Amino acid sequence: MTKRIILGAVAILLVIAAAYAAFFIAPEERTMGLIQRIFYFHAATAWAGEMTFFVCFLANLLYVWKRDPRYDWLGVSSAEVGLACITVVLITGPIWAHPVWGIWWTWDARLTSTFVLWLLYVSYLLLRTLVDEPDRRALLSALFGIFAFIDVPLVFFSIRWWRTQHPQPVIMGGSGSGLDPTMSKVFFFSVLAMHMLAAFLIVERYVLEKMKAEVDFLAREVEAQ
């Protein structure tokens, strides 16, 4: 319990510090101006969301292998947190795009594949609501989670190669890309903050799922008597 409180406090403090850094420390971008500061949340949340889905994928693999319900709890917790992160990305994206590109949405590779990613994990959570028996639900959703995760790179490259003019990524892109050093520091600090926040939310959601499983178990015991 104390550990969870400490983790939560650290995560919230980091997010507040990241917000301060994004608004007051990072230099103003030359062409986009103020709106560019949304980048520190938009991209950092995207990274955290992708990491969270990777955790979900690992949990799914481990569940299929070990059949320990704890991996199922971790799977559903990380899928939900990841979905929340990607929802934030899909909302902050258009807010940033509208003043800069003049449109809310474009069917570009990263936008489109993020949207497909979001849809895949919505299906994952939907599937979970439609299977009643806990072990079956855990196994089927874990297998779908595995299929969904290996589909993500295929979605990304199919759209990138056949549907867009693929602009160079800004971070870890080719030559000519890159960030101002202060911007980059602020950005990686935001990435850290968002990962901590995601970790905190996953832990909380995991504890909730564990309690849910215990209550289900007790309810069935009572019913059986």
Q: Using CB under 8 A, which residues numbered 68 to 127 contact another protein?
A: 116, 119-120, 123, 126-127
We find the least distance from the C-beta atom of residue 96 to another protein, in angstroms, to be 24
How many Cβ atoms are within 10 Å of 3's Cβ, its own excluded? Answer: 8
Closer residue to another protein, CB minimum distance, 5 or 130 = 130
Q: Give how far Cα 176 sits from Cα of 36, 39, 108, 173, Å.
A: 19, 19, 21, 8
Q: Which of residues 27-66 bind another protein (CB under 8 A)?
A: 64
Question: Cα dihedral angle (162, 98, 43, 183), rounded to 10 degrees?
Answer: 120
Instruction: Report how many residues bind another protein under the rule CB under 8 A.
Output: 28
**How many residues does this entry show for the chain?**
225
For 29, the 3-state DSSP assignment is strand
Cβ proximity to another protein, 154 vs 211, nearer residue: 154
* Ramachandran class of 101: left when φ > 0, alpha when ψ lies in -120 to 50, beta otherwise: alpha
Two tokens, residue 217? 């178990």
3-state secondary structure 7-31: HHHHHHHHHHHHHHHHHHHCCCECC
Q: Which of residues 132-171 bind another protein (CB under 8 A)?
A: 132, 136, 139-140, 143-144, 146-148, 150-151, 154-155, 157-159, 161-163
Cβ closest to another protein, residue 151 vs residue 214: 151
Site for another protein in 5-34 (CB under 8 A): none
Among residues 159 and 191, whose Cβ is nearest to another protein?
Answer: 159
> From the CB of 95, what's the least distance to another protein, in Å?
24
104 token code pair = 């809310």
Q: Report the nearest approach of another protein to the CB of residue 157 (Å).
A: 8
Residue 35, Cβ density class (10 Å: 0-12 exposed, 13-18 middle, ≥19 buried): middle
Q: Which positions touch another protein (CB under 8 A)?
A: 64, 116, 119-120, 123, 126-127, 130-132, 136, 139-140, 143-144, 146-148, 150-151, 154-155, 157-159, 161-163
